[in-house]
Structure 1
């Protein structure tokens, strides 16, 4: 069964960006699955991780994007605070770089998603 985690609050520290979940999540031993997709309907980036049972979908909500852009520019690691543990979103910068380039001006992602991504990551209104 797939588990969804929604990261809704960002805290940019000196050496990392911490994205906080809206609830405590018990997900020990997560491993990066090496893929980030876009959820255009809910305006989030979805980081795929693997647990022992199945995939865990970590949604980086729009509320976190400004801090995510800063972390991206500063090249600091991004970690998900899951309450009981932290999980580094390895490879997120590379995946975001690819996604943002593909989203720019691409209505396949939905006009509203394109506008939001461009406004935050590409500073277009």
Structure 2
């Protein structure tokens, strides 16, 4: 069964972006893929296990942090208490998505506008 987890806090520490969640990420591993949820104005990083995917929602309030990652590529980590994973292939996936969204009405006018304003 697929599950959604929202980022509760983001900060830069020790040359990496830390994304904090309020639910366990134990047993999950990075799927190295980012999707777009145009209705929720969110980028969605996939974590996976044998049962399916867990969607990590990166909603608009943390986009300025994501922009900094694109300007100066640094590792992005997801954390819950003592659990942590590096979100591998993050820069490449996000960079490609931003390029594809700009001026592309397939993502919806409001999503395109929001992405163009921040990125």
Query: Unmatched 5+ residue regions in structure 1?
Result: none
Q: TM-score, normalised by structure 2?
A: 0.92
**Does the 8 Å CA contact 2:11/2:17 hold for their aligned counterparts?**
yes
Which deviates the most, 98-107 or 70-79? 70-79
Matched, 1:42 2:47: no
Q: Deviations over 1:29-63 (max 9, x none)?
A: 32221221100011110111112322111111111
Q: Please state how far the C-alpha of 1:100 moved relative to its aligned partner.
A: 0.6
Is 1:18 aligned to 2:23, yes or no?
A: no
How far is the alpha carbon of 1:84 from its aligned partner?
A: 3.8
Per-residue CA deviations over 1:74-124 (Å, capped at 9, x if unaligned) read 211011122341221110110011101100001110111101111111xxx
- 1:91-110 matches, cutoff 5 A: 91-110=89-108
Structure-1 residue corresponding to 2:6: 6
Over the residues paired in the alignment, what is the CA RMSD in angstroms?
Answer: 1.3
Matched residue count:
119
Q: Provide runs of 4+ in structure 1 moved above 2 Å.
A: none
CA contact (8 A) 1:8 1:64 kept: no
Q: Which residue number corresponds to residue 70 of structure 1?
A: 68
